[in-house]
Amino acid sequence: MRMLLKDGKDKVVTLSYDDGVVQDIRLSEIAKKYGLKITFNINTGLYMQENAKRDKFYGRLKLSEAQKLYLNSGNEVAVHTLTHPFLVKLSDTEIINEVMTDRKNILKQYGCTANGMAYPQGSYNDRVIEILRKCGIAYSRTTKSTENFEFPTDWITLHPTCHHNNPKLMELAEQFVQGKRLGRSRMFYLWGHSYEFDDNDNWDIIEDFAEFIGNRGDIWYATNIEVYNYVMAYNRLKKSPDSRRIFNPSIIDVWALDEDGVFCIKSGETVSR
Ligand SMILES: [Zn+2]
């Protein structure tokens, strides 16, 4: 028996965009058009002041703009720390403050528990990781591309498939889309900063990617935390000694594949195979 994803699919696409900038508005529109979900990693200590004037379409979102954009959007708001420091250079207490204050602000401003994170500057080490776990962080995204579609072995160092400027982006997307059931479920994990599309004048990269990979019936489009919660629910299944009876103690329905085919184990239910 092996894990399938939501609705018996075996591919998931997820996006992770950092810093909470105005270009997130345009990125959200593209994602919505093609059915993609995004995790936005934000610094709640760095919003633009509400009364500040914007010279051009650039910079951090104001809190009011961010709430309008992210609230009830179906996208995720996740931790990127309060002020975007190099975490490895901070004391334990400073790291706790950067993470927990951002978490508390996100809870207050967006109503989500904010168990997800992306490392600012991609900076982490064993000490940082140990503190994050104590701060209730379930997963944290790095900046190291795998150029593959594997689920992470340890979600606290969640390595993405690639950055959107990776020259192999569309080649990887084609591999991902064309791949049939290969013995395990797969995840395409894209990351970046939406301001880079303006800086490099290359919005066509994300338009082309989204148009190609989006709105497909055999792909699940999810935020990072939705993927994490699903995989955790699958990992918590309880099996009888002969593996014929499987109990799902979680609140999420999960799907699996065995020699008899695809099946669903609904939340709180037991399935006999
Ligand atoms: Zn950042």
The rounded Å distance from CA 171 to ligand 1 centre is 26
- CA torsion 160-37-106-138 (nearest 10°) is -40
Per-residue pLDDT of the chain (273 residues; tens, 9 = 90+): 999 999 999 999 999 999 999 999 999 999 999 999 999 999 999 999 999 988 777 799 999 999 999 999 999 999 999 999 999 999 999 999 999 999 999 999 999 899 999 999 999 999 999 999 999 999 999 999 999 999 999 999 999 999 999 999 999 999 999 986 566 899 999 999 999 999 999 999 999 999 999 999 999 999 999 999 999 999 999 999 998 999 999 999 999 999 999 999 999 999 999
Distance (angstroms) between ligand 1 centre and the Cα of 150 equals 24
User: What spacing in Å lies between the alpha carbon of 270 and ligand 1's midpoint?
Assistant: 43
Ligand 1 midpoint to CA 18 (Å)? 5
Domain with CATH 3.20.20.370 in the chain: 10-234
Residue 117 Cα to ligand 1 middle (Å): 11
Spacing, Cα 229 to ligand 1 middle (Å): 24
pLDDT of residue 181: 56
Helix (H) or strand (E) holding 206: helix 203-213
Q: How far apart are CA 212 and CA 56, in angstroms?
A: 31
Instruction: Return the C-alpha torsion angle 115, 196, 147, 182, nearest 10.
Output: 70
10-234 has which fold? TIM Barrel (3.20.20)
Q: At what angle do helices 63-70 and 92-110 cross, to 10 degrees?
A: 60
pTM of the complete model: 0.96
Tell how far the Cα of 268 is from the centroid of ligand 1, in angstroms. Answer: 39
Strand partners, 118: 141
